[in-house]
Amino acid sequence: MNVRSQISMVFHLDKCIGCHTCSIACKNIWTDRKGAEYMWWNNVETKPGTGFPTAWEDQEKYNGGWVVEDGELKLRSTSKAKTVFNIFHHPNMPTMDDYYEPWTYDYQHLFNAPEGPDQPTAVPISMVTGELINIKSGPNWDDDLGGSPIYAENDPNLDGLTDQQRQQLFAVERLVLFYFPRICNHCLNPSCVASCPSGALYKRGEDGIVLLDQNRCRAWRACVAACPYKKTFFNWSTGKSEKCILCYPRLETGQAPACFHSCVGRIRYLGVLLYDASRIEEVAKSPVEDLVEAQRSLILDPNDPDVIAAARANGIHDSVIESAQRSPVYKFVKEWKIALPPHIEFRTLPMLFYVPPMAPVMAGKENGAVKNVSEDLFHDIEEARVPMRFLANLLGGGNEGKVRYALRKQKAVRWYRRALTVGDVTDAQAAEMLAQADCTPEEAEAIYRLTSLCTFDDRFVIPPMHREEAIEMMEDPLEHKQNTGFGFLTGPRRGL
């Protein structure tokens, strides 16, 4: 057992209202720079929809992530041998057209336009070329377009749905959509790291954050092609790739990352998971249908004395272990099993988990009134407008059982609380639902509290990162006395 700690995340999709506050917080802090205008380290997608960049989930198109061939884990986009040939022209490199060409507006024209018969307008201008631009699409062009034949109908997750299910999704009165916020998953088996010819990408040993060494990146572009979530971006101005850094300067000072901190719906949770690094490869090679379970088995119980001893032996600080014991992520993912990894079939073992959203029921009409009577207590889970198959493709690696389990438990918690507070559900009914959903009243109460009544400190259990001790090993603070500081002191000026 090789115990490591990982800062992990849960996004509760049932609470996301699609306000994009997270995206704006991130953009204002990190990507409001030349060459990075088009990047959205955090973005919110409408599902069903094609996302950003367009159809990123379609690996037939982008060739990201891993596949298992002859019992070996292999990158789809590159290999040691292929790197030699891919280095001049990467065959799987997306271009700006797959994202969008960033633009601004010529606001000065509103003030400077000469007097004339017409109102002056602010025309759109490309932020790359500075020329007039005819805007055809943008980063969030399909926002809320749940039933759109251009976007929603091309969602790769519709794969495997029956014609009837597809028609339901797009029938006018039954349209449905939910939001899917995304950041870098800080994977356990990151394909961006494995593909980087220069070794510029790395996973931090102490907290598992995946970073990109700007001094070592040489623009070979392999990471952009290899990441199946398309969360490494190429800065066309500096000639370096960039990615989400999980706001590590904030985490190191005990603050939640900006997108987490600003989340209006309070859908985001962050905490430490302890995991067994010696089994990563074995788990990543599991058969597709077992992947969700296999990844869960990697996550270790932070209260187990053996795990604690092994963690200490690996140099994990007691305060980090204590933080792992209070981790909300551990509860959602491992104890309650209601948070699931996105597209685990890409085999990067993402460490961002999603609680699947409850969807409105597919109600029938009788004599002009809505008819919704069923003997089945979990009726609206099975008859929801978002087919189980769709959610399974997105969050279960195709395994409907995992999604059904998570949704049934959420539904049972609602009925349990309804029995307690509203009273239109009998205690017997609530108890039966809990039993069927593999849930105890105590667990239901805990899920309810962490979902609905969670405070800031409940949602973000940030471990002390002890960077101060770590950095003292590398840099002598006194050496830099009366200096401007230490680290990356020059601006990111493009090379000649």
Partner 1 sequence: MNSVSSYLDQFFFLAFPYVALFTFFFVTIERYRNRKFTYSSLSSQFLENQQHFWGLVPFHYGILAVITGHIAAFMVPREILWWNSKPLRLYILEGSALVFAILAAVGLIAAIVRRANVSKMRKVTSPVDWVLFALLLIQVLLGIEVAVRYPWGSSWFATSLSPYLWSVVRLSPDISYVTPLPLTVKLHIINAFLLILMFPFTRLVHILVIPNPYLWRKPQVVRWYRRPVKA
**Which residue stretch of 210-218, 245-253, 335-343, 478-486 sits at the interface with partner 1 (rule: CB under 8 A)?**
210-218
Among 194, 256, 329, 395, binds partner 1 (CB under 8 A): 194
Nearer to partner 1, 236 or 378 (CB): 236
CB 216, min distance to partner 1, A: 8
Q: Which amino acid is at 123?
A: V
Among 63, 314, 372, 429, binds partner 1 (CB under 8 A): 314
x/- map, 359-398, partner 1, by CB under 8 A: ----------------------------------------
Identify the burial level of 19 via C-beta atoms within 10 angstroms of its C-beta, where 0-12 means exposed, 13-18 middle and 19 or more buried.
middle
Alpha carbon distance 245, 86 (integer Å): 27
Q: Is 315 in the site for partner 1 (CB under 8 A)?
A: yes
Q: Is 489 in the site for partner 1 (CB under 8 A)?
A: no
**Which residue stretch of 208-216, 244-252, 327-335, 431-439 sits at the interface with partner 1 (rule: CB under 8 A)?**
208-216
Q: Is 128 in the site for partner 1 (CB under 8 A)?
A: yes
CB 261, min distance to partner 1, A: 25
Nearer to partner 1, 110 or 135 (CB): 135
In this structure, the number of other CB atoms found within 10 A of the CB of residue 285 comes to: 16
3-state secondary structure 25-76: HHHHHHCCCCCCCCCCCCEEEEECCCCCCCCCCCHHHHCCCEEEECCEEEEC
Among 202, 248, 378, 448, binds partner 1 (CB under 8 A): 202
The tokens for 13 are: 């999709």
Alpha carbon distance 164, 474 (integer Å): 62
Nearer to partner 1, 190 or 257 (CB): 190
Please check whether residue 403 is in contact with residue 395, taking contact to mean a CB–CB distance below 8 angstroms: yes
CB contact burial 26-47 (16+ within 10 A = b; e otherwise): bbeebbeeebbbbbbbbbbbbb
Strand partners, 259: none
Among 102, 120, 124, 239, binds partner 1 (CB under 8 A): 239
CA dihedral angle for residue 186, residue 192, residue 197, residue 202, rounded to 10 degrees: 0
Q: Is 31 in the site for partner 1 (CB under 8 A)?
A: no
Query: Largest Cα–Cα distance of the chain, in whole Å?
Result: 83
Q: Is 199 in the site for partner 1 (CB under 8 A)?
A: yes
Which residues in this chain contact partner 1 in the complex, by CB under 8 A?
A: 80, 83, 87-90, 93-96, 128-131, 189-190, 193-194, 196-199, 201-206, 214-221, 224, 234, 236-240, 280, 310, 313-316, 467, 469-471, 473-474, 488, 490, 492-496
